[in-house]
Amino acid sequence: MGYMLYKGVDDVMQEEKRIAAIESRIIEKLQMLRDAQVAYIAANGEYADNWADLKSYIQEGQIWIVERKETTKLLEYGKEETTVTFDTLGSVYVMDSLFNERRHPNFNLDNLHIVPGSGGAEFEFFSDKIERSGREIGVFEIRDPAPINPKRRENNNEKALRVGSRTDSSTSGNWE
């Protein structure tokens, strides 16, 4: 009887540890995908709405290195005049900057869109433009389509791990 009680509690604890480890790997991938989306919109003016475009950008895209200088000059009548200049210093490849060996030692681009622990399921990609205060702004959402955690599966996967938002200009994840 005592062993069965111990075994029942131990099984629950082991399952919680397994779920926590898988969710940690999912969160890490969502953070990488968010970094790639932020770089993508800076270069292209909109978010990638599918894995193929984002993968192509990660492989071949560049991030421009820009230096911003401000000079302030005091005018005769007490006001200040500020001049801002931008100088493009060069560029670095996205792969070398965001996904280098130092930041992500086991990075595999071909598996970045695969949800860990899912048996091969891909993250859901969504991208669109919404209107806010008379302006169109880009939004994106990348989410786990089939959460492993039973608590996240409730209400049609309402609490599934995701980054971004379909209705707001946000790049935060729901785990933060």
* Residues 77-121 pLDDT 10s: 888 899 999 998 988 999 988 888 888 888 889 999 998 888 888
Work out the percent of the chain whose per-residue pLDDT is above 70: 99
Q: What pTM was estimated for this model as a whole?
A: 0.79
pLDDT at 118: 81
Tell me if 7 is assigned to some domain: no
Q: How confident is the model at residue 28 (pLDDT cuts 50, 70, 90)?
A: very high
Split into its structural domains, the chain has a count of 1
pLDDT at 76 over 90: no
Tell me if 140 is assigned to some domain: yes
pLDDT at 175: 83
Q: What is the pLDDT of residues 2-26, one digit of tens each?
A: 877 777 777 778 888 888 888 889 9
Tell me if 169 is assigned to some domain: no
pLDDT at 57: 93
Q: How confident is the model at residue 72 (pLDDT cuts 50, 70, 90)?
A: very high
Domain of 90, in residue numbers: 30-164
Tell me if 112 is assigned to some domain: yes
Tell me if 12 is assigned to some domain: no
> For residues 128 and 159, which has the higher predicted lDDT (pLDDT)?
128
State the amino acid at position 159 in one-letter form. K
